[in-house]
Every structure is written in C-alpha cells, then in structure tokens.
Copies of this chain bind each other. A is one copy, B any other.
Amino acid sequence: MEKCTNEAHHHSKHNHQLCYEHTMQTIEKLCAKRNIRLTPQRKTVIQLMLNADKAMSAYDLLDQLKEIEPQAKPPTIYRALDFLIEQGFVHKVESINCYIICPHFDDPSHISILFICDKCQSIIEEHSPIIEAQLQSLAQKNMFIIQHSVLEIHGTCQHCANQIVGQ
C-alpha cells in the first residue's frame, strides 16, 4: 500500500481507512514490545490526529477529545501528547505550537525536516543526511554538542499553490 503521510492523506485518494488501521496496529505492536501502556485515552488522541490530516493545536485536540471524554481538561491532552512525543509517535511543530503524527515513528534514527503549508497546515516530513552532516560540522566548529534539532520550513504546498493559480 502507498506510504501514508499527512500529505498522502490530504491530497490523494488512497484507502485512508486501511492505512489508518495499519498505523494504529503498528503503534499498538510497538507499545506492547516496549511494555508501555497505550490507554484508550492515548489511543483516542492518536485517532484524532490521524483523522485530522493536518497539524493540530493542543486545544483543537482537546475540543475533539471532549466530545468523547467530556471530563477532559488541558492537562489531559498535554499528558497524552507528552507520552506520545516521548515515545516518538508525535512531533511538536514548535513554530506553530501544533502537533502531528510522525509518519516515520518506526525509524526514529533521523532528524525530521518539516515543510509546513501556512495555507492549509498540511505538513510534509523529509530527511537529509547532507543537512545532518552539515549541522554536525557547524556544531563542531563551535564546540557545540547537539541534542535536538528543530527544522521547520514554512511556505505553500503544491496543492495550495495550484489553487491560487487556478483562481
């Protein structure tokens, strides 16, 4: 099946339901393997994010979560997000205070480069060994020890650029 990313969800017609269930199953297996608990609440948050097809703010997610669990409060969603980020299933998009499912959580060995469409909030995740090497080189020059990289590129996605031209 076609690799399912936010981008694919958003702009193609592949079988979303199949892909969605496949992702959930992969996450469930990984949690079992790591001996950590994927509680119904955490699972619900993943489901909300998978269905969104775009970056979601904590309060966007909270509003949706409340429809299922009316007692949910800000700490509820932040605790779930903390867990999911810690486990590598979710990225925080720092420059817009939003959150996405990482489409490559089964291979966390790379630095993620996010291309963020400011029109539709869809996000393409890319990777580049060249950039990683170059960053390491710059770090060494300054005797800096890298712990975590935030690479977020803002602009307009193909879909939205076409819409503007087409009008």
Residues of A near any B CB (own CB < 8 A):
7, 94-95, 113, 115, 117-118, 124, 126, 128, 130-131, 134-135, 138-139, 141-158, 161
Contact = CB atoms under 8 A, between A and B. Distances in A.
How many copies of this chain does the complex contain? Answer: 2
A148 B151 CA distance: 11
A85 B131 CA distance: 26
A146 B126 CA distance: 14
A161 B140 CA distance: 13
Contacts of A155: 139, 144-148
Given A126-B138, A130-B130, A135-B131, A149 B154 contact: yes
Given A130-B130, A131-B131, A134-B131, A149 B153 contact: yes
Contacts of A156: 144-145, 147
Nearest to A152: B150
Residue from A115, A144, A149, A155 whose CB has the most chain B CB atoms within 10 Å: A144
A143 B159 CA distance: 9
B153 A135 contact: yes
A118 B131 CA distance: 22
Given A131-B134, A135-B131, A126 B142 contact: yes
30 contacts: A7-B142, A94-B94, A94-B150, A115-B139, A115-B144, A115-B146, A124-B144, A126-B141, A128-B134, A130-B134, A131-B131, A131-B135, A134-B134, A135-B153, A139-B153, A139-B155, A142-B158, A143-B158, A143-B161, A144-B153, A144-B156, A144-B157, A147-B154, A147-B156, A148-B155, A149-B151, A149-B152, A149-B153, A150-B152, A150-B154
